[in-house]
Amino acid sequence: MGKRISRSFFEANEVLFVGYSRKHEPFCKAVYEAYAKRGTNIFPVNPDPSGFSVPVFANLDEVPARPEFAYVLTRKDVTASLIDKLAAKGVKRALFQSMMSVDEATLERCKTLGIQTAVACPMMALGGGFHKFHGFLAGVRA
């Protein structure tokens, strides 16, 4: 089992959702809805924001808020190029979907910038059933 992650790490009043995608839209929508059910304001970001069922911003500069929490679902190379921009936007905690989204160098850069990080699927803390069980196995705790 990996490092334990507190469920409170996943909680936020506002979430910057970087990498909201068409390719993974059902999953993205499930994460969006799980946060929305908690009253969280979600700011999805995708370079091509047209055609989604929710409002999506083309880049971080367009987001009208300064969320302290970001969920990142992008490729490693894209993620690496975003870290300084996330810090400038006010992000204090970043959740990366998997090690396909982030590498050790990027995690170290986050640490240098004062951004707390975790690598996990948000549904492990927000979902029920299998997601909750998966979270238990992955070390997501109260």
- Domains, the chain, in order of start with CATH, read 5-141 (3.40.50.720)
Lowest mean pLDDT among 6-20, 82-96, 118-132: 118-132
Judging by DSSP bridges, how do beta strands 41-45 and 14-18 pair with one another?
A: parallel
Is 60 exceeded by the pLDDT of residue 61?
A: yes
Q: Which of 7-16, 37-46, 49-58 has the lowest mean pLDDT?
A: 7-16
- The b/e string for 74-112 (b: 16+ C-beta within 10 A; e otherwise) is beeeebeebbeebbebebebbbbbeeebbeeebbebbee
Residue 1's pLDDT band, with cuts at 50, 70 and 90, is very low
Predicted local confidence at residue 131, as pLDDT: 52
Q: How confident is the model at residue 66 (pLDDT cuts 50, 70, 90)?
A: very high
Residue 98 has pLDDT above 90, yes or no: no
Angle at which helices 76-89 and 104-113 pack, to 10 degrees? 10
